[in-house]
Structure 1
Amino acid sequence: MTNATTADPPRTLEGRRVIVTGGGVGIGLGIVRRFAAAGANVALTTHSRSADEVVATLAGEGLDVTGLRFDATDSTQVTSAVGALAERLGGLDVLVNNSGGLVGRHPIAETSDVHWDTVWRVNVSSAFYVSRAALRHLGEGGRIINISSLAGANGGGNGSAPYATAKAAVDGFTRALAKEVAPQGITVNAIAPGLILDTPFHETFTPPAAQQQTIASIPVGRAGYPDDVAAAAEYFARVDSSFVTGTVLDLNGGIHFS
């Protein structure tokens, strides 16, 4: 099983112009697929993969997207890339800040300054840089969707304190930005996934036995998949979601409630 559903979503995002950061793998790629199938004009960004390679793969699936490779922790690159992608799209309606990652597991006593700073830049600075650049292009009806994590609320697993701290900061950034841009007709929300399989995150950092142990404790009886997150993101991206802002949505099968 790779997705919660195989049905194409209705074309609820027809004509919406979207940038998805970290759109080459895992949750980001799931969001790109769902948004494109829902009628959005999607531009994805990548760092670990060739954007052209991802775009070509999606073209083979009948999805027409564009892409660009850049480092979301470099503010100069971000400003240039977001401007270029907004120009390609003919404007911008939706930003999905999906770039982020655990980077590595280390006890606090063994966490270096470099590791702490890297995790912060990858998860928090990237969301700030891209959001700041996107606000130059977003207007009435604009949407910003941040991908957070259950770790931001429950502290995460062993060795993930920097990541949990960073994701808690993303939640705070979401709420602060939501208040600031609400008068402009722009909403800002976050999604905090729990165990989402078919992603490099858990393939790299969560052994199969630990995955099964977590699944056994999930009330709905299964793990999540990228399309579960994409379905929630698709709602936040819609024009008719305008009364929902500053929300951090728990998406974890009932294992945790904020």
Structure 2
Amino acid sequence: MAENRFTGKVVIVTGGGSGIGAATAHRFAAEGATVVVIGRTRTKLEKVAADAPTGSTVVARVGDVSDEEEITRLVEAVAHDHGRLDTLVNNAGICLPLGSVTDIDAAGWRQVMSTDVDGIFFTSRAALPHLRAVGGSIVNVGSASGLGGDWGLVAYNAAKGAVTNLTNAMALDHGAEGVRVNAVHPSMISTDMVAGFVQSDELSAAALNRVPMGRFGEAAEAAAVITFLASSDASYVNGAHIRVDGGLGASNGNPHVA
């Protein structure tokens, strides 16, 4: 692991209470950043802060990205309290409710959209003035489900598809302002979300049959790509979309029959 790439930097990670968000917070902190994890559940956030690498700084702040006024106040408070903001990781997201267009209702549709899309819009808009001031960056956490469809995940697919093209538009609009905007698209990462879908050995085997590397990924492996995109090592990377899926996206969709 590269060390101290983020010494003196301030990073916000939304959805920082578990999974990829928690691993990302710890990776930034291990490399010297002051990290503010934002989420809706205080106990989860406080555990992430308590489990941070020795000598590092991870601060827990409760907030809902889908609440425009609340998240705007919170981002402003972070920049004020710490004197700057260098990186925003838009990781907060939900996938429920499941179903097709005829299965889910308007309230379920809006629930997913308000967190997965509106949350990125609100948080990014609040962060951009501070990111411009220091030549910072945004990393959006999309999904393989935003690059192709799934059965029974219409709201999540639509939301993550929006994240994909929102990343493109933001990269165009803000690159000349010195703010780079990129996205990672995880799939088959061992998180609570994946565990909710793969609830049996049979389903696990079927899922892994599609992954060339033959295993689930770890949250830390996604975090490594996120921190790369935020670092000076990626200083000319803007509007990029990086899959973190063990090669799942390399397939044309046919089953593994060899």
For the criterion TM > 0.5, the same-fold answer is yes
Identity %: 35
Q: Does 1:150 align with 2:116?
A: no
Letter in 2 for 1:97: N
Equivalent residue letter for 1:150: A
Q: How many residues align?
A: 249
Point out the more displaced range, 43-52 or 24-33: 43-52
Structure 1 vs Structure 2 CA RMSD: 1.8
- Amino acid aligned to 2:27: R
Residue matched to 1:53: 46
Structure 1's 14 and 173: CA in aligned 2 closer, same or farther, altered over 3 A?
Answer: same
| CA displacement, residues 59-112 of structure 1 (integer Å, 9 cap, x when unaligned) | 585532112101110000011000111122210010000000102212321110
> Structure 2 unaligned runs (5+)?
252-258
TM-score, normalisation: structure 1: 0.91
Please give the residue correspondences for 1:1-258 in structure 2 after superposition, counting only pairs within 5 Å.
9-50=2-43, 53-54=46-47, 56-59=49-52, 62-139=55-132, 140-156=134-150, 158-197=151-190, 199-209=191-201, 210-257=203-250
Would the aligned equivalents of 2:142 and 2:184 in 1 still touch at CA under 8 Å?
yes
CA deviation string 1:142-178 (max 9, x = no partner):
110000000011212x311110110010011001011
Q: Which moved more, 1:137-146 or 1:169-178?
A: 137-146
Instruction: Give yes or no for contact 1:51–1:67 (8 Å, CA) kept in 2.
Output: no
Do the aligned residues in 1 keep the contact of 2:17 with 2:44 (CA within 8 Å)? Answer: yes
The letter of the residue matching 1:39 is G
What are the ranges of 5 or more consecutive residues in structure 1 without an aligned counterpart?
Answer: 1-7
Q: Is the 8 A contact 1:51 1:69 kept in 2?
A: no
Q: Is the 8 A contact 1:43 1:89 kept in 2?
A: no
Output the CA distance in 2 between the equivalents of 1:167 and 1:123: 7
Q: Which residue of 1 aligns with 2:254?
A: none
- TM-superposition CA deviations, 1:201-257 (whole Å, max 9, x none): 122233233233212321112111111110001111112312111111111111114
Conserved 8 A contact 1:219-1:254? yes
Alpha-carbon shift at residue 52 of structure 1 (Å): 5.9
**Quick one: structure 1 residues 240 and 9, their matched pair in 2 at CA, closer, same or farther if it must change by over 3 Å?**
closer
- Higher RCO, 1 vs 2 (CA within 8 Å, ≥6 residues apart): 1
